[in-house]
Amino acid sequence: MKSPLALVLALAATAAGADSAPVQLFNGRDLSGWHIDVPAMDKDPAVASPFMVRDGKLVSLAKPQGHIITDASHENYRLRVEYRFSAAPGNSGVLVHASTPRALYGMFPKSIECQLLHDNAGDFWCIAQDITVPDMEKRRGPKENWGVDGKKARRIANLTDHSEKPVGEWNTMVVECVGDKIKVWENGDLVNYGYDSQAVRGQIALQAEGSEVEFRKVELTPITALTE
């Protein structure tokens, strides 16, 4: 007999509903449909943006730290992100249900982060809003430490090791947001599943945080005709 956690994850792996035609959030030419929020650029107009388009890819140059955020908000969708750390292992993230700018540390928008940090892809980080996962204490630590601000345990560890490809190779992260549920796959492996998300709609953001990372696809597929 499967454990309760295994049964929950098996259900989480099933399709959520019918799909509409995919939409390319990144067009391969420019940053249309996105805006940049980098606190350091407020203080000094001469500071260059860490986000650019190079050889048909959206590139995060890592510094100064900040985010590139969709102008539009979205709900009930499947997001496909193809990315790689081209030179060295590093850190970045895909933020979903993003809303209030600079809600944490004066930089991170209120959101749920799907971690891209090398060897940790698929971790959830709770940024001023929360989500629940099966086996919560095992993956987040003692309950009394949980929270969504900088003093609390905001990381919820992923479910797998070794789902990422070697540095320099392309990875595919798929994030499915349906109602209050968020599921994350890394290269085909289900690496996280959460429910009771405090937000069900918001913008999508990519981070400049620690290492150069290239994105060759950011594709959103609306999910309609929702099913359990």
Distance from chain centroid for Cα 104: 16
Q: What are the structure tokens assigned to 221, written together?
A: 């597929």
24-74, pLDDT tens digit by residue? 999 999 999 999 999 999 989 899 999 999 999 999 998 999 999 999 999
- Over range 79-83, report the average pLDDT: 98
Contact criterion met (CB below 8 Å) for 122 and 186: yes
Domain ranges of the chain: 36-226
d(CA 110, CA 100): 5
d(CA 43, CA 17): 46
Q: What are the structure tokens assigned to 184, written together?
A: 């994350």
Which fold is adopted by the domain 36-226? Jelly Rolls (2.60.120)
d(CA 197, CA 180): 5
Given this model, what pLDDT does residue 87 score? 81
106-137, pLDDT tens digit by residue? 999 999 999 999 999 999 999 999 999 999 99
Burial class of residue 196 in the structure, from the number of CB atoms within 10 Å of its CB (0-12 exposed, 13-18 middle, 19+ buried): exposed
**pLDDT surpasses 50 at 163:** yes
